[in-house]
Amino acid sequence: MLTPLDIHNQEFKRSLRGYDVDEVDEFLDEIIRDFEYLYKENLELKETIQKRDEEVNRYQELEQTLQETLVLAQQTGEEIKQNAKKEAELIIWEAQKKAEQILAKAEAETFTAAEMLEKMHGLEKQLYVKMKSFLTSQLEFLEEYEIGINTEEVKETDESTAGSGNFW
């Protein structure tokens, strides 16, 4: 690409019937000024474009970072939800097992209490039978004792009336 300096330093051959040198020099000076202005403007625009490209790259990197952060946050959120779900399931499972244990223990205690009650009923019946037997034997003893006492009283009365001679 030509620079303003290249145009400025360009020299042409002179010929007898050529163009007017002053007019050509004047036109070249005008071209140099315009070209120099355009050249500087082009450099400035290139710098601006480069800066904009750098900004775009930074924003693209930032966007990429934000996208990655968002994906990571979503993954982390899903992991947290999954972990919470697993933990909740574990808590429920443990609670069910605990409830089953409590229920089994209560059933065992109920069964044991029922067995004890049944044994107590059996013991009550045995005690009743023994008490009845004991009381019956005591009653028989008392009846025999009473019969024995009555028989002795009759004998004593007979003996005492026979010995006194007095019946009345």
pTM, full prediction: 0.43
Percent of the chain with pLDDT over 90: 60
Mean pLDDT value across residues 64-81: 96
Mean pLDDT value across residues 95-117: 94
pLDDT of residue 30: 86
Cβ–Cβ < 8 Å for 11, 23: no
List the domain boundaries for the chain.
4-159
Closest CA to 35 of 8, 67, 62: 8
Rounded Cα distance between 147 and 142, Å, is 8
pLDDT beyond 90 at 159:
no
Q: What is the CA radius of gyration of the chain?
A: 66
Cβ–Cβ < 8 Å for 32, 20: no
Amino acid at 154: V
pLDDT of residue 17: 74
pLDDT of residue 161: 62
Q: For residue 112, what pLDDT band results from cuts at 50, 70 and 90? A: very high
